[in-house]
Amino acid sequence: MIIPLLLSTILALTPVWESKSVHFSWESKGEGYVYEFETYKDWELTNLYFKLPPITKTYIDVVYHDSGKYYQRIKYYNPNTPEIYSYWYLGQFYLNLQEGILSEDGPENPPPIEDESENEIEQDDEVNTPNENTQETLEQIKFQLPTIPDSREKIADIFKKEDTQTKKEIDNSDICKISVFKNEETKIKEWNCNINIEVSAIKYIDWDKYYSLEIQGKYPKSIKAEIQIYECKKFSITDINTWNKCKEVLTDTYTGDINLIYFGKIYANNKAGTLTNFNFTDSEFQTRSTFVNDISKQDVKVYFSIYSQFKSKEWIDLTYTTQKSITIPTAVKAAAVKPFSFPLSKLIGVTQWHGCTQYQCPHKGIDFGARLHNVIAVGDGTVADIGFDKYGGECNQGGRYIIVKHTNGMYSAYIHLDSFLVKKGNSVKKGQVIGISGNSGMKNCQPLGYHLHFETRKGLSSSTHTDPVKYVNVDWNLIPTLQYKQFPGRLTGDNPHPNF
């Protein structure tokens, strides 16, 4: 068994060295073996600093020209079978030429220089000291080393400042104590933090065929946190706990404010409702879901997914989930205060809202992305007009239309129809099929896409148009804007839910 030793393990007498010769020796591995000496700058021996030509001697003196931490090993093999080789670890040492320090880890276990910072943490490798007693004359090997600035003092200052800051903030009882384990992704080990989420309004509505629950509230935009970051200690040949397993070590601590990004959904008896609207701003939220059955007697919660990112040594992403129990009031019946029904036999999304949109200003109605669907009278009344509109000659035509005068004095218009199922003067009942939607008409000399242009008017003239959202009794949260991700302009106008 050989025990390589460093030439000196404590402070050298000379206060400043230009370079330092370090002696290494090892046991002979057998007759005819050769040895290649390697120095690394990292403890997992992946970052080769230099390698010396093969020798047959079992010792060597190596001159180091720069400060730093070094890790050594020899590769040994028989030249007759060079493909069969082994390594022997010679240990590590710390060299500070400026202060004349050559030691296992430095007298004050100094922080590492430059890129080695990650490798220094939890350093508990056993250090083998080169044999100081070897007296043989040694070949002095010269090599050029790159210049690495000694930034330890600067780093030490930063550590001091951070320590002071951390101590101050730890005294603050509001501070959240979080610890995370960072591997391929970051997992929260401990979350000692109460995020105060307040519910300010709950709307529970019975829509006959389903129920909707809308919850509004507030939450903190950011929190003060002290976050301890753990990682697997990198492989160390001298630490068995790092061999094929993860030894968690504290590698960093972050102290400061972190911003929180929220998203939440409503669950009843652990089953999510259908999300029909939401808005999560910096400090306020609104989330709305629909349920097929009455959930007033069920265990209702809002689950919040809270995301944060912060920069420590590296960027860290956190996702934390919390929940808030909700007590639901008795369902309120959806008030049928709006006079009209939906103009199609099924709920269909919108391609252009009423109002001043990106495409038309004003757009006098709502365009529903219907192909050949049943168009229904939105209220009782009489067919006031029917026909084919050619308002703009060859290039701009409204196509087939029906206008109904309702018993409440208002009018509704159904445009670009494929066909009619009523005649002028016919009485119509609310819900009666009066035509089939289509794509009749032209715009900008081009064929129209299939859609129903639907208007509510206070008079016969189109100039008396009103926003149908105000008159059609439907849960508009169930009517999305179609293809708004590709065409964000479609969200414009009097959209009752501007984010979808």
Partner 1 sequence: MINTKYLPVEVFWIDNTNVLLSSYGYSQLFNTENRDSSVINTCENCIYGYDKNFVYCKYINRDIKSKDQFSTTIEIFDINNQLLYSKDIFQTVAPVKCGSSSILLHTNDPNLEQHSYILDIKKDSLKEIKENIKDTKEWFNNDKTKKIIIGEDKRVWLFKS
Stretch that binds partner 1, among 17-25, 49-57, 224-232, 306-314 (CB under 8 A): 306-314
Q: What's the Cα-to-Cα distance from 389 to each of 392, 416, 422, 440, rounded to whole Å?
A: 9, 9, 17, 9
Residue of 120, 367, 418, 494 that binds partner 1 (CB under 8 A)? 367
Question: Minimal distance in Å, beta carbon 311 to partner 1?
Answer: 8
Determine the 3-state secondary structure of 81 from DSSP.
Answer: coil
Stretch that binds partner 1, among 79-87, 372-380, 386-394, 466-474 (CB under 8 A): 386-394
Return the structure tokens found at 118: 């990650």
Question: Minimal distance in Å, beta carbon 89 to partner 1?
Answer: 34
Return the structure tokens found at 105: 């880890």
- For residue 495, give every residue at least 6 positions away whose Cβ sits within 8 Å of its Cβ, in sequence order, or none: 350, 353, 481
| H-helix or E-strand spanning residue 269 | none
Question: Minimal distance in Å, beta carbon 307 to partner 1?
Answer: 6
Burial class (CB in 10 A: 0-12, 13-18, 19+), 74: buried
Residue of 85, 159, 243, 307 that binds partner 1 (CB under 8 A)? 307
Query: 439-498: which residues touch partner 1 (CB under 8 A)?
Result: 439, 443-449, 451, 453, 483, 485-490
Q: If binding means CB under 8 A, how many residues of this protein chain bind partner 1? A: 38
Return the structure tokens found at 59: 């010792």
Q: What's the Cα-to-Cα distance from 262 to each of 192, 193, 197, 214, 254, rounded to whole Å?
A: 18, 16, 11, 16, 21
Nearer to partner 1, 54 or 392 (CB): 392
Query: 313-332: which residues touch partner 1 (CB under 8 A)?
Result: 315, 317
Stretch that binds partner 1, among 12-20, 49-57, 240-248, 391-399 (CB under 8 A): 391-399
Nearer to partner 1, 142 or 311 (CB): 311
Query: 103-132: which residues touch partner 1 (CB under 8 A)?
Result: none
Neighbours of 321 (CB within 10 A): 11
Q: Would you give the binding string for partner 1 spanning residues 279-298, x where CB under 8 A is met?
A: -x------------------
User: Parallel, antiparallel, or unpaired for β 399-406 and 381-389?
Assistant: antiparallel
Query: 233-262: which residues touch partner 1 (CB under 8 A)?
Result: 261
Query: 394-423: which residues touch partner 1 (CB under 8 A)?
Result: 394-396
Nearer to partner 1, 131 or 357 (CB): 357
- For residue 485, give every residue at least 6 positions away whose Cβ sits within 8 Å of its Cβ, in sequence order, or none: none
Nearer to partner 1, 210 or 500 (CB): 500
Tracing tokens 């859609």 back to the chain, one arrives at: 451
Nearer to partner 1, 240 or 261 (CB): 261
Phi-psi domain of 177 (left: phi exceeds 0; alpha: psi -120 through 50; beta: other): beta
Q: Is cis: bond before 362, omega within 30 of 0?
A: yes
- When asked if residue 391 is in the footprint of partner 1 (CB under 8 A), the reply is no
| H-helix or E-strand spanning residue 465 | strand 465-466
Question: Minimal distance in Å, beta carbon 224 to partner 1?
Answer: 21
Sheet of strand 20-25: strand arrangement = 20-25, 59-64, 140-141
- Residues at the interface with partner 1 (CB under 8 A): 261, 263, 275, 278, 280, 307, 309, 311, 315, 317, 351-352, 359, 367, 392-396, 439, 443-449, 451, 453, 483, 485-490, 499-500
